[in-house]
Amino acid sequence: METIVLGLVTVFHPERFLSCHADDLQAFPHTTRTRQERTQNVLASSKSSTAQVRDDGRVERGNGREIERLRSTSLEGRLIRPWLATPRLVKIPDERARRPKWRIEFRRKWGPMDWALPPDRVGVIMNTIEANLLKVKGVWVNHNPAPGFASVDWVNLVLGPLEIAGSNACPPSKLGFAQRGADTCILIY
């Protein structure tokens, strides 16, 4: 079993978890991060970058490794719900075609609160996650220091909605969660 700090949970298709239409997302408090800015930050940093194969087959520069055996597995929302940090809505306007331009990100530490979601919307997100089966889109282990975390290694768990009709194609993931000091950790079996 591997135990790694859960630094970030990314959830695609936030409209499904906010009970709204994709066109309505713009009305919620959110931040905008461009793909171009993120790529420039990785290349300009002292972090070593590697080629990463994404779930749609694209290859991009990044600074982590994927645990591929966990891709396209399922995770019961009730198992992760107690471990989720504060959610924020993020827009990536220059995301590639066929990729969601909106996502929810859960992190322990956020910057300015001017784009915090209202408490009632946070409740809707948490309750929807808890009540549903989710698809694991990726588990990325990043080997660079993450400010505010006790460990150098941390995980980005990428999730999305799982259609009931497709649930047979996604076996249950072998993931667990635990508290280790101040950190929430993901347990990979």
* Domain extent listing, the chain: 2-188
The token pair at 53 is 């194969």
pLDDT at position 110: 79
Neighbouring C-beta atoms of residue 122, cutoff 10 Å: 17
Mean pLDDT for 95-99 is 85
CA distance 153 to 105: 18
Mean pLDDT of the chain: 84
Neighbouring C-beta atoms of residue 125, cutoff 10 Å: 22
pLDDT at position 60: 52
Choose the most confident range, by mean pLDDT, from 28-42, 57-71, 166-180. Answer: 166-180
pLDDT(165) > 90 = no
pTM: 0.84
Q: Are 86 and 110 in contact (CB under 8 A)?
A: yes
